[in-house]
Structure 1
Amino acid sequence: MKDAITIYVEQDNGDRIELEAPLDMNLSVMEVLKANEFPVQAVCGGMAICATCHVEVLESHGELPEMSDDEAYMLETLPLVSDNSRLSCQLRLKEDMEGLVVRIMPEA
């Protein structure tokens, strides 16, 4: 088993920032983004009740966790949503998420 995976955050200009994400702490993508000082508010602390950690998944080489009803409901309340929108707090890191690419979505 690997100790960490690499995930990427795509910027508005198309550049991708590489982040090392440890697998031994059961972190979410939101927690990795916040630890690397990306502008993710995560007001609710990862409870899927605020949607301030909204990301668009641009590439995923593994299967992402199924979306919960709570996550789907919160995404429905947002003005800018895509078919690949997820709450980063609901994406717990696992080995097959190696190479995941996300874009942080604007709040409005």
Structure 2
Amino acid sequence: MYNITFKFEQQGLEEVTVKNAPEGDSILEVALKHNIRLHHNCGGVCACSTCHIYIDSGEELVEEITDREEDFIDRARNPRLNSRLSCQCILQESGGQVLVTIPDQTLIHGE
């Protein structure tokens, strides 16, 4: 099981920690199950960049980045070295602590 802490760049949003998130779920699925707003225009199939996040710690606990994901991250707003698409961050079997920052989503149109 995982503990995932979500921090937000958007002003006025408090940090949220989800305890006991199950292996096999994506970070996007964990967020949505716990009413954490995270855009996902393509429905979580790695066809856009709206679920872009920063993994501040625990990157080794999710599946490795693919070339396809990297291509979409290049299209994201303000990509960084620790950028990932939350729909592609599947929690591995080991369990642990993951710290995620969600970029300001007020600049994303649609969904």
Q: Do they fold alike, i.e. is TM over 0.5?
A: yes
Counterpart code for 2:97: G
Hey, what's the Cα distance between the residues in 1 that align with 2:95 and 2:22? 12
Equivalent residue for 1:53?
51
Q: Do structure 1's residue 19 and structure 2's residue 22 form an aligned pair?
A: no
Q: How far has the Cα of 1:65 moved from its partner?
A: 2.0
RMSD over aligned Cα, in angstroms?
Answer: 2.2
TM-score with structure 1 length normalisation? 0.81
Long gaps (5+) in structure 1: none
Would the alpha carbon gap of residues 32 and 63 (structure 1) be closer, same or farther in structure 2, given more than 3 Å must change? closer
Q: Do structure 1's residue 74 and structure 2's residue 72 form an aligned pair?
A: yes
Hey, what's the Cα distance between the residues in 1 that align with 2:63 and 2:102? 18
Would the alpha carbon gap of residues 11 and 78 (structure 1) be closer, same or farther in structure 2, given more than 3 Å must change? closer
Match of 1:9 among 6, 10, 13: 6
For 2:60, what is the secondary structure of its paired residue? coil
Hey, what's the Cα distance between the residues in 1 that align with 2:71 and 2:59? 25
Hey, what's the Cα distance between the residues in 1 that align with 2:69 and 2:83? 10
Hey, what's the Cα distance between the residues in 2 that align with 1:66 and 1:75? 14
Q: How far has the Cα of 1:36 moved from its partner?
A: 1.2
In the TM superposition, what whole-angstrom CA distance separates every residue of 1:35-84 from its partner, at most 9, and x where no partner exists? 11112121212111111111101111734322111100001112311110
Would the alpha carbon gap of residues 30 and 11 (structure 1) be closer, same or farther in structure 2, given more than 3 Å must change? same
Q: What number of residue pairs does the alignment pair up?
A: 103
Equivalent residue for 2:40?
42
Q: How far has the Cα of 1:94 moved from its partner?
A: 2.1
Would the alpha carbon gap of residues 79 and 61 (structure 1) be closer, same or farther in structure 2, given more than 3 Å must change? closer
